[in-house]
């Protein structure tokens, strides 16, 4: 087995395990984190996003960026708005998602915290 494949497998497992913890905190059944595309559908349903964002992620190349954006929006519902948190979501989700999902200090805050942030910082 090549080193690249091993890194990919470990990163994918870390991403899904972290998403499992995040889903449980968000009130979504944890097993849904392990099903490709369905996990993104669950994130879109939990947030006030239009349902077409899920289908846009299926567009080749552009869909990868849309999926990343959906994940960033989901992280914002944990009260994480800073650039560093967004960068961690994009670059090391296999480390950052387990932190959000299993840390006692992190909790799912929901739409209220996002709306409050927009009201204060984005007039």
User: pLDDT value at position 56?
Assistant: 95
Q: Specify the residue for token string 């939990």.
A: 46
pLDDT at 122 over 70: no
pLDDT at 123 over 70: no
Structure pTM? 0.90
Q: What is the mean pLDDT of residues 29-58?
A: 95
Structure tokens, 52: 């077409």
pLDDT at 69 over 90: yes
Check residues 119 and 91 and name the one with the higher pLDDT.
91
For 5-50, the DSSP string reads: HHHHHHHHHHHHHHHHHHHHHHTS-GGGGGSTTHHHHHHHHHTT--
Contacts of 50 (CB under 8 A, 6+ apart): none
């Amino acid at each position: 087995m090549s080193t690249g494949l091993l890194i990919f497998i470990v990163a994918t497992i870390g991403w899904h395990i972290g998403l499992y913890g995040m889903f449980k905190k968000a009130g979504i059944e944890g097993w849904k984190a392990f099903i490709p595309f369905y996990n993104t559908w669950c994130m879109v349903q939990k947030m006030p996003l239009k349902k077409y964002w899920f289908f846009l992620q299926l567009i080749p190349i552009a869909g990868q960026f849309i999926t990343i954006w959906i994940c960033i929006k989901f992280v914002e519902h944990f009260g994480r708005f800073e650039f560093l948190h967004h960068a961690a979501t994009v670059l090391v989700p296999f480390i950052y998602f387990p932190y959000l999902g299993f840390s006692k200090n992190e909790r799912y805050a929901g739409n209220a915290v996002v709306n409050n942030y927009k009201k204060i910082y984005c007039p």
